[in-house]
Amino acid sequence: MKWVTREHAKVDRIACPWLIKNFVDKCAEFLFVPADQVIQVAKEQNATPFDVSNVELGHHGDECSFDAIMKKYDLDKKDPALIELAEIVRGADTSNRSLTLQSEGLLAIAHGFSMNAKDDHDNISKQFHVYDALYSFCKWKITSKK
């Protein structure tokens, strides 16, 4: 399945592909296009748009696109570590930077990778390791509370 979003990804537009690849669609293909072309490309390519205005898998209220994907695919009910990770991403991708201790750091890391990557696909390949590590951290955090 194809998924499309705005180019020059930072937090949510990297976190969402990580979530999709790992928990929704292992064969996902991601398209990064100028913001004003996302809906057009979605129609032309039969792709699911995410992290743009006025789409199901976008920001709604205080929640970011990662949250929308979690809800749509019922991931918010299945995995406590993903719920923890969603809070980190939400804090980094919205104005609520103090939501978690890790949110401000994730924002800094995401911006740094974005500046150092040659394109969005290179950025994904580098940053997926960050989300793998954060997910492992969240699993550890959940199990250490027991």
Give me the mean pLDDT over the 103-115 stretch.
96
Average pLDDT over residues 85-89: 97
Is the predicted pLDDT of residue 6 greater than 70, yes or no?
yes
- Quick one: average pLDDT of 124-132? 97
**Whole-number Å distance between alpha carbons of 82 and 100:** 14
Instruction: Tell me: pLDDT of 146 over 80.
Output: no
Residue 14: predicted pLDDT: 97
Output the six-digit token pair for 62.
């205080």
**C-alpha distances out from residue 20 to 7, 17, 69, 78, 93, Å:** 17, 5, 8, 15, 17
Q: What pLDDT does residue 122 have?
A: 97
Contact 86, 67 (CB under 8 A): yes
What does the mean pLDDT of the chain come to?
95
Instruction: Give the per-residue pLDDT at 76.
Output: 85
What pLDDT, on the 0 to 100 scale, is given for residue 145?
Answer: 75
Q: Note the pLDDT tens digit of each residue in 26-62.
A: 999 999 999 999 999 999 999 999 999 999 999 999 9
Residue carrying the six token digits 């290179």:
122
Q: How confident is the model at residue 78 (pLDDT cuts 50, 70, 90)?
A: confident
